[in-house]
Copies of this chain bind each other. A is one copy, B any other.
Amino acid sequence: MTIRVELGTSLLARNEEMAAEIRYLCQDNNIFLVNIMSSPGAGKTTLLEKSLNFLKTHIKVAVIEGDIATTRDADRISAQGINAVQLNTNGACHLDARMVYQAFQKLDLSALDLILVENIGNLVCPAEFDLGENLRIVLLSITEGNDKIVKYPVMFRDAQMFLLNKIDLLPYTDFNLAELEKDLRTINSELEVFHVSARLGLGIEAWSNRLISIVRNHRRSES
């Protein structure tokens, strides 16, 4: 048992060192780094596809795609004319800072304002690993049910922005919006909340504009 705790500590300590390196690279290049997390199939890639249309006309953006297998997600992003780096974890259930640092080596950092990292679809493990990000976004889709906030609390406690996706499917489910709002207030009252349907493009312009404004404010304060 002792070994297990020590290893966990050293694993997370090593991750913190790499996250610090990433923060240094971001500061040096005035880049804003976003870590996007959710269950599998909550709609992270579709959100990115639709949002990049707005983002790319205002700021210089690249995407790092985390997946266990396949380059499908990076291919979808590249099809938008956006630089996308695919990270395959070959079984690992989360991205760590070392992987993201490796992806940074494939990007021209001096030519970017924003890097969006799409983490592995997993509502548990990715929350434990700091990637050196400026902003953590967690996505929940209507069809997953509103009880996920209290059942997977760490992910929602440590995020700053919350996107409720597939809002168009609300009439076809038992999702309880009032209960969701009560649980969010209890677990993380500072979460900034957006309702979207990535597939239909609903709410995408509003949240994209908000992200652009956050990135610009950050760049002004850093420069």
CB distance from A188 to the nearest CB of B (A): 14
User: Is A125 at the interface (CB under 8 A from chain B)?
Assistant: yes
A72 to B147, CA, bound (A): 9
List the interface of chain A (C-beta within 8 A of B): 3-4, 7, 11, 39-42, 67-70, 72, 91, 93, 120-125, 141, 143-145, 147-148, 150-154, 166, 168-169, 172-174, 199
Q: With A93-B125, A122-B93, A143-B143 known to touch, is A40 a contact of B151 (CB < 8 Å)?
A: yes
A148 to B70, CA, bound (A): 10
Q: Which residues of B contact A143 (CB under 8 A)?
A: 41, 141, 143, 166, 169
Contact B40 A144 (CB under 8 A): yes
Closest 3 CB pairs of A and B: A41-B144, A93-B124, A143-B143
Residue of B nearest to A171 (CB): B172
Q: Which residues of B contact A68 (CB under 8 A)?
A: 124, 151-154
Question: What are 15 A-B pairs at a CB distance below 8 A?
Answer: A4-B7, A39-B39, A39-B41, A40-B152, A41-B145, A67-B151, A68-B153, A69-B151, A69-B152, A91-B124, A93-B124, A122-B123, A143-B166, A169-B172, A172-B172
CB distance from A1 to the nearest CB of B (A): 11
Task: Choose among A7, A143, A150, A154 the residue with the greatest number of B CB atoms under 10 Å from its CB.
Answer: A143
Residue of B nearest to A93 (CB): B124
Q: With A3-B7, A7-B3, A141-B143 known to touch, is A39 a contact of B121 (CB < 8 Å)?
A: yes
Residue of B nearest to A76 (CB): B147
Residue of B nearest to A89 (CB): B124
Residue of B nearest to A91 (CB): B154
Q: Which residues of B contact A67 (CB under 8 A)?
A: 151
Q: Which residues of B contact A121 (CB under 8 A)?
A: 39, 123, 148, 151-152
Q: Which residues of B contact A91 (CB under 8 A)?
A: 124, 154
